Amino acid sequence: MFETVVRGGVVLKPLETWHASDFAEHMSRAREHIRPWVGPAFITDTVDGARATLQRYATATAHDGARIYGLWDEGKIIGGAMFVAFDPVWGNCEVGCWLEPDAVGGGLITRSVALLIEWAFVERGMARVEWRCRIDNDRSVAVAQRLRMRSEGVLRSSWVYDGNRYDKEVFSILRAEWMSARPDITQ
């Protein structure tokens, strides 16, 4: 997957280290909105920090591991989707996402993550895709449910944010489940 239209003029394509300035500008708009839901290493305040985040993913991608994609609208990053983990040897991966506040509610994340899941199962032969989120992240839980993922349980007190501990829920979908009722991602 190199570049795919998600909806309207919004495009999903790889984020690379040379996008550091764009990513830093995007983080300025998204930071407070996404801070409670993503890991602290993902949140950047500077171009150098953005470059370091993108370089971690570039290195992982070069080793057939994690990958990161930006959602671009009229040349501006408004969010993205990623393989937080990607293990082709074991056939397991984890997907994740984020959006700026102004981009929420248009179905961009559900469609973007569906595209990643489709690629993982069809092109890479993965056996299992996971989704992990805080149990109080209603939007994230709803995406997992729309994608027909099953809840596998709660990791109690496993997420730390702002000095507090939160529970995380683990969802997954298996290759056979996805393939038996694939969504139409061509629209």
Model confidence at 139: pLDDT above 70: yes
Higher-pLDDT residue of 5 and 187 is: 5
What residues form DSSP beta bridges with 93?
86, 129
**Tens-digit pLDDT profile for residues 76-85:** 999 999 999 9
Q: Considering the domain 4-180 in this protein, what is its CATH number?
A: 3.40.630.30
The whole-number pLDDT of residue 181 equals: 85
Q: How high is the pLDDT of residue 2? A: 74
CA atoms of 133 and 169, how far apart (whole Å): 6
Helices (H), the chain: 20-34, 47-62, 108-118, 138-146, 175-180
pLDDT of residue 185: 65
- With 60 as the cut, is the pLDDT of residue 61 above it? yes
Question: Are 37 and 134 within 8 A, CB to CB?
Answer: yes
Strand pairing of 76-87 and 67-73? antiparallel
DSSP characters for 62-113?
HTT--EEEEEEETTEEEEEEEEEEEETTTTEEEEEEEE-GGGTTSSHHHHHH
d(CA 82, CA 67): 6
Judge contact between 41 and 50, C-beta under 8 A.
no
Domain ranges of the chain: 4-180
Mean pLDDT of the residues in the chain: 94
- Is the overall model pTM greater than 0.75, yes or no? yes
